[in-house]
Structure 1
């Protein structure tokens, strides 16, 4: 069992070095923590602006294509691993249970633990999303896959299956896009140019919420919101 006396994991030490330098001056530690927080906040603000400037036209076009699919009875399927699995669940929730506007059919392929574990155990983890799309997806649906590295094999296989079924494919990746950037089958790929998993996921959150709001606009539902 770990104790407080054991040395911290190297990753934790790298993230918060000022906590492990043997300093007893609490004020200097708090000041360093404040600077670290401010630096991270400034970094994500810069990154979001960078993505907005690089991808504004693509975001508008992608949302328009999503609106066309939804208007024709299409459904959205979201998927990802680890932290990206929770983002996939948030994507589905944002479209299905919006704070305002239209409720749009959306499902996270990470939500059914029985299906995920059955496929992982009986076939292989690399097919947990592709097999679900094979069963549920159809022409005109939307596939949204998230991967901070862009290298997740099960996400790639899901996009391959989605393409075979004539689905609109939307990818969110980090750094330089990884293997997802090498695929010709993704209709829209939004790459967050950062090597920090934390900043990538924060920026991806902004991207898919922007897509949700632009889709609502494209469907003519933007005026449903009444802040009063």
Structure 2
């Protein structure tokens, strides 16, 4: 899709400019990021642990935050005690009361509208004296009055919010290790004051992530545009979009919700099936997000879609490189290397671009 096509409709935005990119949003919050990192470093420095939990699409992000602290991938970084509280193991508030100590810290990832149970774990942590860092989609009042630090995406897009939270995870981890190396904190209070070096480091790291995101988009812009064009044609003919991933389906749910939401006031939602929203049918479109190395599952999902004569789009990690030579997918975009966390971040970025291109194609007048 070229620049001329973007002008077919006067209210269509240019590619990737419909919202402030996550990296730029993050750079504007370098102060809050540095303060939150100082609190985390202070707790780690006194033997405390980071407890993380999330709701909806925030669950895998919360797991990733805990794993990033406990098993740092960068050389020279020491493992830090962190634990992801999992709703699969029962009530989160009860887990907080059973596992937390007063010297710990809570990180909550709340990317969507809070449920009645969202505040209970936060209240339980507050009663124990834990400082609470909340990653949200909206502002400070979004998760109640008990949070000490709120880092908000300020975006209505589930995809941009998910990207923002993964970037926030990266910056916080980077800043915590800097704080522990250069200025071991001694305080436990939730209002730790960061030094100017941390604020600047947050700004620099956010700028690096913004540049990295742009680098993920530019080489694939034409291919993402082609994917969006065929997807828009299929949706116009009455097809539905079925989104699936090879994890616990929470990222697929995030992508599905984003595509189902209207793109602008007065627009109709797109016909989308989430992984738990029913079975796809012949003629539908399958968007498959593959992060892991299970090529058998990858082939099984795409073969089932092919058997139903569906249009198939696949975003994969390194294990999907052979799909380029097969006939199981109509369009394949491959992240050639990197850990699963980076693969997932790339898929979220591509999904954001695909969403925007698709709505641009749908809003163009017929030729």
Q: Distance in 1 between matches of 2:312 and 2:305?
A: 7
Seen in structure 2, the aligned counterparts of structure 1 residues 220 and 6 have a Cα distance that, compared at 3 Å, is closer
> What whole-Å deviation, never above 9, does each CA across 1:111-161 have from its counterpart, x for those lacking one?
36xxxxxxxxxxxxxxxxxxx7xx5321x2111111233546434311111
Q: Which residue of 1 aligns with 2:345?
A: 202
Q: Distance in 1 between matches of 2:197 and 2:182?
A: 15
Q: Secondary structure at the residue paired with 1:170?
A: strand
Seen in structure 2, the aligned counterparts of structure 1 residues 29 and 13 have a Cα distance that, compared at 3 Å, is farther
Q: TM-score, normalised by structure 2?
A: 0.44
Contact 1:75–1:142 under 8 Å retained in 2: yes
Query: What RMSD, in angstroms, separates the aligned Cα atoms of the two structures?
Result: 3.4
Q: Distance in 1 between matches of 2:356 and 2:255?
A: 12
**Which of 179, 182, 187 is residue 322 of structure 2 equivalent to?**
182
**Which of 283, 287, 301 is residue 144 of structure 1 equivalent to?**
287
**Which of 290, 293, 297 is residue 154 of structure 1 equivalent to?**
297
Distance apart, 1:194 and its partner CA: 5.2
Q: Distance in 2 between matches of 1:164 and 1:13?
A: 49
Contact 1:44–1:203 under 8 Å retained in 2: no
Q: Which residue of 2 aligns with 1:94?
A: 258
> Is the aligned partner of 1:57 residue 2:210?
no
Q: Describe how 1:6-21 pairs up with structure 2 within 5 A.
A: 9-11=70-72, 13=78, 15=173, 16-18=176-178, 21=181
Number of equivalences: 192
**Which of 176, 196, 201 is residue 35 of structure 1 equivalent to?**
201
Q: Distance in 1 between matches of 2:273 and 2:207?
A: 33
Q: Which residue of 2 aligns with 1:212?
A: 355
Q: Distance in 1 between matches of 2:330 and 2:229?
A: 13
Structure with bigger helix share is 1
Seen in structure 2, the aligned counterparts of structure 1 residues 64 and 36 have a Cα distance that, compared at 3 Å, is same
Gaps of at least 5 residues in structure 1 are: 113-131, 223-228
Q: Secondary structure at the residue paired with 1:219?
A: helix
Contact 1:47–1:203 under 8 Å retained in 2: no
Seen in structure 2, the aligned counterparts of structure 1 residues 68 and 150 have a Cα distance that, compared at 3 Å, is farther
Seen in structure 2, the aligned counterparts of structure 1 residues 53 and 75 have a Cα distance that, compared at 3 Å, is same
Q: Which residue of 2 aligns with 1:120?
A: none
Gaps of at least 5 residues in structure 2 are: 1-43, 50-68, 80-172, 187-192
